[in-house]
Amino acid sequence: MSTTVAGILFTGSLVLALALAYRPLGDYMYRVYAGTRHSRVERLVYRLIGAHPDAEQTWASYARSVLAFSVVSVLFLYGFQRLQNHLLLSLGFKPVMTHQAWNTAISFTTNTNWQSYSGESTMGHLVQMAGLAVQNFVSAAVGIAVAIALVRGFARKRTEHLGNFWVDLVRGTLRILLPFAFIGAIILVIGGVVQNFHDPHTIQTLAGAKQAITGGPVASQEVIKEFGTNGGGFYNVNSAHPFENPTTWTNWFEIFLLLVISFSLPRTFGRMVGNNKQGYAIVAVMATLAIISVTLMSYFQLSHHGTVPTAIGSAMEGVDTRFGVANSATFADATTLTSTGAVNSFHDSYTSLGGMMTMFNMMLGEVAPGGTGSGLYGMLILAVITVFVAGLMVGRTPEYLGKKIGSREVKFAASYFLITPICALVGTAFAMALPGERAGMANSGPHGLGEVLYAFTSASNNNGSAFAGITVNTTWYDTALGLAMVFGRFLPMIFVLGLAGSLARQGHTPASEGTLPTHRPQFVGMVAGVTVILVALTFLPALALGPLAEGIH
């Protein structure tokens, strides 16, 4: 069987599995967030945190709860790292450096999971399990909660309330993420992923050197790393490590995990607004962009464009032989189309155009299908912008799902879209302008620029993957990338919740002859086109100086 055919079968089976999961998982998440009954465990949690589960919140109160919870999460995780040498299962590791602990705490709280350290030689088992893995759960739950609040804004009318953040957070964690992660972890253990509390084993290599092999609670962290679109690996080489991703079928399963929630949430959206066709339209936009992206990525990698790949007949540099070019390209595309950031190959070794695709996926705003929750609310923001543009073209007030899109709504949507490009491009400009940061680059020219652009694009879009090639474990990079993660995560959330509050206060405008149908293929094509055009206008100059220039050269 040829590599191309094997890649098509691999990707095709993923598409089929995601299509089969769309309705049952989407309906289940709808029941989770639309229900009014609280379990005993949930009521206990509410009492412990002092929340009132039956009291609803305005958008401002909801936003303050998101920020307060995130601040506490950052402080807790920062302290956990700084005190790890006093904790159980520390493996004798020293406290994490101040600037690195700050960066890591921000990274995992914002669902970015950018790692400027090697996990197996820096973090003890308790920090990995009770610090980083816990944030993998709750940061994903925060993203879904904000998406659900926006959907309530569309679904409700003449109200100030969007639900209760603490209820949404607890339900998302206990009813969705935990049970599915538990089952997924068992499947990964069956597939050979490590799950233990062993100290490092010292072995002798074939060359006669000694190497410490670290075990740990890997499977339990690996599953939520993918299912919650987090991406932070237990080991430095992430999902290329055989303890995290042993076989081809576990590779397939991990890609499925990182896509399934984000591709199923449009069904939840359709159920909540009372029109399943709207959910089908949103998932169709996501699928269209994803299929085009995967096709281009696979073509660029399998055609092995570039001097070295052409000479050897393959783009295998940085690719694990267990997975090969096609499956690695699919993984790279899926992880950058979402906010996962996990890797099973070295993106810096991709062909120039293949590497450009990983960046372009993130520049799209990671909406095809995007992160857990963030993909849905990002796509709905783009739908609002599309409706506004279409309304200007026909000379009438734009409407979406019975809500008028006026100047207030457009300001929230435009602010949402602008913040991540500003963070990415301004951060890249400063890094390239400072001589000390340029000195930390292993490569010059277009590829060096591409590595820096990738880093800030990844941080600003809360992805977490990296091109590498630059020394990022410095005070400046840890601080600058940490700030990009904070602004790229929480400012968009505030704008989303502000938009939700504005929509919820409105009544419902009945559809008329002049209303743009938002459930037909025409609208799907319009949203996809607006998404690509906005990204092209914003990032094309930077891409032209980086990966495009490298490809032409």
pLDDT digits (tens, 9 = 90+) for 395-426: 777 999 999 999 999 999 999 999 999 999 99
131-153 confidence digits (pLDDT tens): 999 999 999 999 999 999 999 99
Q: Helix, strand, coil proportions of the chain in percent (round to 5)?
A: 65, 5, 30
Model confidence, pTM? 0.95
Percent of the chain with pLDDT over 90: 74
Which residues partner with 294 through β-bridges?
none
Pairwise CA distance, residues 551 & 244, whole Å? 33
Domain boundaries, the chain: 373-552
pLDDT value, residue 314: 64
Q: Does the pLDDT value for residue 96 go beyond 90?
A: yes
* pLDDT the model gives residue 552: 75
CA–CA separation, 22 and 32 (whole Å): 15
pLDDT at 313 over 70: no
- Is 375 within 8 Å of 463 (Cβ atoms)? no
**Average pLDDT rounded to a whole number, residues 308-336:** 81
Please choose, from the candidates 382, 352, 357, 355, the residue with its C-alpha nearest in 3D space to the C-alpha of residue 367.
382
Distance (Å, rounded) from C-alpha 538 to C-alpha 425?
10
φ and ψ of 39, to 5 deg = -75, 165
In one-letter notation, the amino acid at residue 278 is Q
